[in-house]
């Protein structure tokens, strides 16, 4: 009973904080403390969202498609890299520094290059998302593979397990927890990555739409897009959480 009460308060608190923040914002905007054309009130943003919904909807699909394709490829590449590096130590020694270096290159800086190389269609966006996603996936999986208990691996060997069997039955499931926490980060990065690369050139997508409404100084519509993007990221993170629960039933006991 007490526990249930605690969990309701723990859900109520953040909701109350968000509502309070929105209320303050509404007040600041309505009283004219900050002029309306610079900071539209939450109500204005909502009405802009409703009015623009068909356009937003259309553009969301493009952004989401880029995000999903990029995510899928990023996960596959990250997984394969982590697996190869785990199986062959020399490969890990050779590639790991390069993997780290790729992450010191700011995504915003290579996005225009990608546009120049691959044009204005989907390809450069997907590549940028892959570039952003594969790193956390690779590193977290590799960490997970390496953190498996040496005694467990020895025991598996004593039962005649080969390298691939040890990977399948011990290392891979052991790394799942790591994988999902990095995936949660990766999905939100992926959406942002897709939007950033759309800013720099494209025909459709939330990023393209954003640059358009920016040019017309339509602040309320800008905010509507921002809300939508963060909403989409949140939904994706939630989806990851649900998938994790399905894939790791032992965690819920």
Partner 1 sequence: MNELEIKNVCFSYTGEEYVINNINLSLGEGELVSILGVSGCGKSTLFNVVSGLRKPQKGKIILDGEDITGKSGKISYMLQKDLLLPYRTIEDNVALPLILSGTKKKKARLAVQDGMKKFGLDGTQKKYPCELSGGMRQRAALLRTYMFSGKAALLDEPFSALDTLTKSEMHSWYLGVMDEIKLSTLFITHDIDEAILLSDRICLMTGKPATLSEEIVINEPRPRSRDFTLTPEFLAYKKQILSKL
Residues that bind partner 1 (CB under 8 A): 149, 151-152, 154-161, 165, 169-170, 173-174, 176, 248-250, 253
CB 82 to partner 1: min, Å: 18
CB 229 to partner 1: min, Å: 35
Q: Are 70 and 133 in contact (CB under 8 A)?
A: yes
Q: Indicate the residue among 169 and 203 with the shorter CB distance to partner 1.
A: 169
Q: Indicate the residue among 113 and 155 with the shorter CB distance to partner 1.
A: 155
Q: Indicate the residue among 119 and 162 with the shorter CB distance to partner 1.
A: 162
Cα distance between residue 124 and residue 208, in whole Å: 14
In three state form, how does the secondary structure of 95-110 look? HHHHHHHHCCCCHHHH
Q: Are 198 and 205 in contact (CB under 8 A)?
A: yes
Cα distance between residue 214 and residue 241, in whole Å: 34
CB 204 to partner 1: min, Å: 42
CB 69 to partner 1: min, Å: 30
Residue 248 falls in which region: left (phi positive, over 0), alpha (psi -120 to 50) or beta = beta
CB 194 to partner 1: min, Å: 33
Q: Indicate the residue among 8 and 165 with the shorter CB distance to partner 1.
A: 165
- In whole angstroms, how large is the CA radius of gyration of the chain? 22
User: What CA–CA distances, in Å, run from 167 to 19, 153, 156, 239, 246?
Assistant: 48, 9, 10, 27, 21
Q: Indicate the residue among 22 and 176 with the shorter CB distance to partner 1.
A: 176
Q: Indicate the residue among 109 and 250 with the shorter CB distance to partner 1.
A: 250
Which candidate, 191, 181, 179, 196, places its Cα nearest to that of 236?
191
CB 145 to partner 1: min, Å: 14
| Structural element, H or E, at residue 116 | helix 107-118
Give me 207's structure tokens. 């990023």
């Amino acid at each position: 009973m007490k526990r249930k009460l605690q969990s309701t308060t723990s859900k109520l608190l953040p909701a109350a904080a968000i509502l309070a923040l929105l209320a303050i914002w509404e007040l600041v905007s309505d009283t004219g403390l900050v002029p309306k054309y610079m900071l539209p009130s939450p109500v204005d943003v909502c009405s802009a969202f409703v009015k623009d919904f068909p356009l937003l909807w259309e553009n969301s699909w493009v952004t989401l498609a880029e995000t999903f394709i990029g995510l899928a490829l990023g996960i596959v590449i990250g997984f394969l890299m982590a697996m190869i590096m785990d199986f062959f130590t020399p490969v890990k020694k050779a590639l790991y520094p390069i993997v780290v270096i790729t992450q010191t290159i700011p995504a915003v800086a290579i996005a225009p290059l990608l546009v120049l190389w691959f044009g204005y269609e989907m390809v450069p966006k997907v590549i940028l998302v892959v570039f952003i996603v594969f790193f956390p996936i690779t590193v977290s999986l590799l960490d997970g593979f390496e953190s498996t208990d040496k005694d467990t691996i020895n025991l598996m060997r004593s039962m005649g397990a080969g390298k691939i069997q040890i990977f399948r039955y011990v290392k891979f499931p052991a790394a799942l927890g790591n994988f999902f926490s990095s995936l949660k980060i990766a999905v939100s990065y992926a959406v942002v990555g897709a939007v950033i690369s759309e800013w720099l050139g494209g025909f459709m997508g939330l990023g393209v739409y954003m640059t358009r409404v920016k040019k017309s100084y339509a602040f309320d519509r800008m905010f509507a897009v921002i809300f939508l993007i963060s909403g989409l990221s949140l939904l994706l993170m939630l989806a990851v959480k649900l998938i994790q629960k399905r894939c790791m039933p032992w965690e819920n006991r």
